[in-house]
Structures are given as structure tokens and as C-alpha cells.
Amino acid sequence: MMRSSIVKEGIERTPHRSLFKAMGYIDEEIRRPLIGIACAWNEIIPGHIHLRQIAEAVKAGVRMAGGTPIEFGVIGVCDGIAMGHEGMRYSLPSREIIADSIEIMAQAHRFDGLVLVGSCDKIIPGMLMAMARLDIPAILIAGGPMLPGKYRGKLIDFKNAYEAIGEYKTGKITLEELKEVEERACPTCGSCAGMFTANTMNCLAEALGVAPPGNGTIPAVYAERVRLAKYVGMLIVKLVEKSITPSKILTREAFLDAIAVDLALGGSTNTVLHLPAIAREAGVDLTLDDFDELSEKVPTLCKLSPAGPYFVLDLYEAGGVLAVMKELDKLGLIHKDRLTVTMKTVRELLEGVTVLRRDVIRSVENPWSPRGGIMILKGTLAPRGAVIKIGAIPEHLRYFEGTAKVFDCEEDAVKAILDGKIVPGNVVVIRYEGPKGGPGMREMLAATAAVAGMGLAESVALVTDGRFSGATRGLAIGHVSPEAAEGGPIAIVRDGDRIRIDLKNKKLDLLLPPEEIEKRLKEWKPPRPKISKGYLLRYSRAVSSADKGAVFQL
């Protein structure tokens, strides 16, 4: 019996069928499996501007396989456009709205299956959270990555537009050159061309097994992406027929494999928020310790922007996510007998897969680094943990000790950086930007890009209880827990305090005597909330700390 039977079968459902017929559905369509197409198309996100085409291809596939597609909308925030101002407070909180809205639509209308059509930073995690929560047959398909731009013979992407601001401020480029970077950094639709959060999560959806091979790497503008969407439409009908649900795919082993792929790719630190949040919905226990333990075993195989010169286009040409998994399997790091939405096991998907470009995906015998691209730090400044993208850190910066320059919001820090008030040897501390304190845990790309643009990327560190964009490079530490708004040690740091970052020992310490730290913590008083109404106020009251995935504590 189909799940949708309750809204369309029997004499009692005459009114329900009447409403379907008001929209033009005929009896043959109503009798078929009803497949919800959750599409995040909008005209504000480059990764979403083309999703109507992807959704139409999915619907064509559904119809070919004997199902009836029913499309509905999903909101989305463009992190790039929201970056650097109050709008970024809404990015991470939108993840929960996305998950909730998909749950509402699927449960209210009793869809037999779901195809989730999204692309960017919080949309994909929100969709995957809903998929895990609902546990009805579902597949994710993304819009695909943007192609890199070209500026005077050099390939560039979104991060270069930010870094160019600092370069202009320091006289390294002219206003005309700045404008040229603006025109060329983002040349096509799609999620920004580097291994930033959107592309990381789309690759990890493949690794989890809830998206088809190619989901993370086939460029947005390639016809292959449309063909993949048609295949997904056909596949979801088969999943409904065989009652294959996400709980059969999203196992603990799947999440561990996704972490391994993340570490090998040197992916965005935001995955440390999103994977635990998705795992929680799936009933799987996943902690920062899992990331930490695997980071010691998984080598860094790729140096994709912002950590290196390659882009997701290069990863596609090198064989994609499956090629990375094939390489990791040499070390026994992949659980090959688990199921995927293709109805094949990982073992079957890896058959015949080879690495096609060794400059992009290195072998496990010759990695960029013997450890993974993300590191969990703990210490007196971050008792419950903090996150750094170590794959983007040069070897000589693995130990850094500096003087704190403290700011209670991102805007003040960025102004100080661009005004030349930050000097080599400083540790820029940006606090009250966590999930509760922000509220919303804003990304600090404006700050890190300003540091890079001012030529300070290898002489200044940044530490925050907020987040860093996947486009971040340099000595940037985020997710400091407990956050300042919870009275964590980051709340009591003062200008001039010494901070030590020791990546060899995975430590982040405020260099004060324990009694001084204890004295300051006792004297600390929470500041007035930044937000006094609306969704962000409700969000700040319900959200957990970053080390728990910034999920609602309900």
C-alpha cells in the first residue's frame, strides 16, 4: 500500500481527488506514486538560479518511471550575498526552517517519496536533515558547481573577489583591476567553484550514499547534470517500489565514510556542524571526537580552492568523489558493503573506478599530508572544542603565539583590519558571534579575506565562536565552545592577553594562570541580547552550542 493512499483512495477521499483535479491531474496520475519534488529555485542564489531546469528533468524521469511528480518550493539564503552584515545571522538558522518546511509538506500531503533539489550552503544540510527525519524514500540532487573564472590568465573564484578588496586597499591593484575581478570571479551558475561548504556538502551527500555518483562534481552548466537529474527521477520511483528509505542508508558507517572523504578533500569546517545535525535526525551518535579520531588516520589527498590551486571542476575531471573513496579504500577507511540510493553497494559503485588525474587526487602513498584537512582543538580557550581547516595551513604556521585584539562583532574586526590596526603577531578574537550570541553563528569570510588581502595571512591568527566560510584560508579557528554568550572562556579574553595555537598538540590556550581565568569567569556578566524579536530570538533560545551541531534542543 502506497503512503499516499490515505489522501487519494476510497469513497471518503472524493473531496481530496476533487482538489487534485482542480489542478489538472487525471485519474491515471493520481493512482501513481506521488513524488514530492522539493525545489529550492530562486533568483537570489547563483547555485539555484538554474534549478527549475534540474527539477523539470527530475520530473521527466519520474514520469518515465511511472510516478507523478509534484513540485513545491523551499527557501534558501545565499551566504555570499548575506556575508559581512546582519543578513548572515539568518544563514545557519535557515537550515532548521528548511528541514521543518520539507517535513511539513511531506507529512501533510503524504508523498510516497521525495527528491530534494538544492545546491548551497545551508539548503543541502537542511534537506538532508529532513530526509533523515522523515525516513521515506528520498534522493538528493544538487545543481552542481560553478566553473572557475579567468582573470588575466589565472583561474579565480568567489574568494578572490573578497581578497581583492584588501589588495585594493593596500595599493596592490587598481580600482579597474578590482572591477575586473568582480566581473570574472563567478562566470556561471552553480555553487561557488572551490571546495567551499556547498560543494563539500554535495560531495559528502555522495559519500553518505543519499545522492547519486556525480552529484558533487558534475558542473552546473554541463548537460550531464540534466541527464543525472532524469536518472534520479527514475530512481526515486524504484526506491518507493522497493521501500528503500534513508534509515537503510544513513548508518553510522555512512557518516564515518563521509567524514573520511571530507578530511581527504580538505573540505569546509562547516561540515563539523552539519554532519552531526544530520546524524542526530538519523538517530546516529556522531561527535567531534569522531572527526578528531579519523583526522589522525585519513590523509589529505586534495588541495582544492581555497587550500590549493585546483577547483571542483578539476576534481570532476580526476574521477570525482568515487575516485577519492577508491583511494581511501586502500587504507581500509571505507565501509564498502553499505547500501546507497542507487540500490548498489559502495563496493559495486567502486568497481572499475580509477583516479584520472594524479595532480588533483594524490595517492595514499604520496598525500599532501598524512592527516586529514580538519582538526579539532581543545584547551583553556576552548574546553569543549574548536575547529580549524588545517589543510589550508602552511607547515611553518603549525605553532603560533600572539597578542589578543578583541572584538565583540565581526564588523568592528573587519574595520580594524582594513584600517591597518592589526599587525603581525596579533590574534584577532571575534566573540558573541556563536549560535546563541550572534545569534546565528555568522561566517567570517569578510574578516579572513581582509587579513589575506592585507598581506597578513601568514602572520595573524583569527579565533571566533562564530564560523568561517569554506572559502577561508589561513590561521582561522572557529566554533569555539562554549561560546561567549554561554560564558565560555572566550568571553573573558582582554586586549593584550597571550593566546597559543599549537596544532601539533591540537591545543588552543589562553595563557593566563588558572586562578585568573576562574576569577574573570566569576566576574563575567552576559551582555544584552542583540536581537529582541522575531525568528532569531526564538532561535537563540532553542539552539545548542556549536560542538553539538547547533541544533534545536527540543
> CA geometry: angle at 344 spanning 340 and 350, to 5°?
95
Cell of 185: 570571479
- Would you call 191 a catalytic residue per the annotation? no
Out of 94, 469, 540, 544, the active site residue is 469
Q: Are 451 and 423 in contact (CB under 8 A)?
A: no
Q: How far apart are CA 328 and CA 334, in angstroms?
A: 7
Residue with cell 591597518: 420
The single residue listed with the C-alpha cell 544563514 is 91
Q: Which residue has the cell 568561517?
A: 468
CA distances from 374 to 41, 262, 290, 354, 499 (A): 31, 8, 12, 25, 20
Q: What is the DSSP letter of 300?
A: B
Separation of alpha carbons 458 and 410, rounded Å:
20
Gap between the Cα atoms of 438 and 434, Å rounded? 5
Q: Phi and psi (nearest 5°) for 354?
A: -135, 155
Strands 461-464, 426-430: parallel, antiparallel or unpaired by DSSP? Answer: parallel
Q: What is the DSSP letter of 500?
A: E
Find all residues with CB under 8 Å of 440, minimum gap 6, and list them.
Answer: 88, 89, 90, 91, 92, 93, 536, 539
The phi and psi torsions of 286 (rounded to 5 degrees) equal: -140, 125
CA 182, distance to chain mean position in Å, is 24
Helix, strand, or coil (residue 424): coil
Beta carbons of 389 and 307 less than 8 angstroms apart: yes
406, 431 in Cβ contact below 8 A?
Answer: yes
Crossing angle, helix 410-418 and helix 445-453, to 10 degrees?
Answer: 10
CA 539 to chain centre: 19
Which residues are part of the catalytic machinery? 469
